[in-house]
Amino acid sequence: MKRLAVLTSGGDAPGMNAAVRAVVRTALALGCQIYGIYRGYAGLLDDDFVRMESSSVSGVVLHGGTMLKTARCKEFLEEENQIKAAETLKHRGIDGLVVVGGDGSIKGAEVLSKLGISTVTIPGTIDNDMHGTDETIGHDTAVNAVVSAVSRIRDTASAHNRAAIVEVMGRFAGNIALDSGLACGAEYILVPEVPFSREKLARSLKRQMEEGRTNSIIICAEGADDGRALGEWLKERTDIDICTTILGFIQRGGQPSAKDAILGSTLGAAAVKALLDGETAALVGMWEGKVRKVSYEDAKHIKKPFNQKLYDLAEMLGAAQVEGNIR
């Protein structure tokens, strides 16, 4: 009987629990034993394992966060700890490990694969910024959280004739900003992938408000500018009343959308099957709507391009329609 293990690592993402549930139940259905490892690589270093049964994952599919807990584990970057982790897995007789997480988590899995442990990674991050897959678990839920927050913010901004800056997560990527910005009809979307001019933004915003707009939404990716500092700067430059909201962690928690719960379930099952088929050092992700396995090595070269077409569309439908762009 094969013995598998699963851990979640890096920033949690809604839908990770659906993935864990699918890993556990698929493994059991295919006659394996399955263990959960708490707190990602940190728990692996502490030998923090739990045997999982079907009932261990009852009721978790629509819970946000991750039932296995997670961590960003700096100690795991050290070679002696990586060797210790591989030895722990060997000592416990683990035949394959499923890692759910982002780019940093893949790196850890890759190291373990080189040390003789079979690993498969499932992409999980709200940022949707991973190489080798065009979907990641949690992104859709985060985008929906931003859209619902912006709808509330627009109401109050409009009541006061204010412009509203909404800073969203995404680290170095603008995917959350772009997808949510287009979905909620933001007037401006600031992303790290497309340089913009604060001066042009100020001029465009001023004209808009002078011409009678009652509100204007500026979605600002955290990697593009500091929302608070931008707000102060724009206030001084334009005299427009500006309210700034840093959305923060409300984007990362909460019940996964149906799309993320389906994605987590699909990839969780696919990851177990991949391990049992003898696959290792592979990312099980999505490409053009289909599940796709790609080696960690190849994934590095399949850079997910920024969706410039979508950005151009969002820009054309926003303030640029009247004002021209702010690049």
The annotated binding site for ADP is made up of 21-25, 154, 185-187
Nearest to 185 by CA among 218, 228, 225: 218
Amino acid at 268: G
In this structure, are strands 216-221 and 188-190 parallel, antiparallel, or unpaired? parallel
Look up 95 and say whether it is catalytic.
no
Q: Which stretch binds ligand F6P (CB under 6 A): 163-171, 188-196, 282-290, 309-317?
A: 163-171
Strand partners, 161: none
Residue 166, phi then psi, degrees to nearest 5 = -120, 110
Least spacing, CB of residue 177 vs ligand F6P, in Å = 11
Binding mask 106-125 for ligand F6P (x = CB under 6 A): -------------------x
CB nearer to ligand F6P: pick between 67 and 317: 67
Choose which of 19, 89, 157, 169 interacts with ligand F6P (CB under 6 A): 169
Residue 316, phi then psi, degrees to nearest 5 = -65, -35
Pair 127, 174: CB distance under 8 Å:
no
DSSP 80-103: HHHHHHHHHHHHTT--EEEEEE-H
Number of residues lying near ligand F6P (CB under 6 A)? 11
Residue 170 touching ligand F6P (CB under 6 A): yes
The H-assigned helical ranges of 10-129 are: 16-29, 40-45, 79-91, 103-114
Residue 174, phi then psi, degrees to nearest 5 = -100, 15
Least spacing, CB of residue 73 vs ligand F6P, in Å = 12
Residue 98, phi then psi, degrees to nearest 5 = -105, 125
What's the rounded Cα separation, in Å, for the pair 247 and 153? 11
Least spacing, CB of residue 167 vs ligand F6P, in Å = 11
Tokens of 22: 């699918």
Residue 252 touching ligand F6P (CB under 6 A): yes
Least spacing, CB of residue 104 vs ligand F6P, in Å = 9
Least spacing, CB of residue 34 vs ligand F6P, in Å = 26
Residue 127 touching ligand F6P (CB under 6 A): yes
CB nearer to ligand F6P: pick between 230 and 242: 230
- Among residues 46, 48, 127, 277, the one annotated as catalytic is 127
Please give the radius of gyration of the chain, using alpha carbons only, rounded to the nearest integer: 22
Tokens of 147: 């859209």
Binding mask 203-242 for ligand F6P (x = CB under 6 A): -------------------x--------------------
What's the rounded Cα separation, in Å, for the pair 230 and 202? 10
CB nearer to ligand F6P: pick between 32 and 137: 137
Amino acid at 142: A
Residues marked as catalytic:
127
* Residues of the shown chain interacting with ligand F6P in the complex, contacts defined by CB under 6 A: 11, 72, 102, 125-127, 169-171, 222, 252
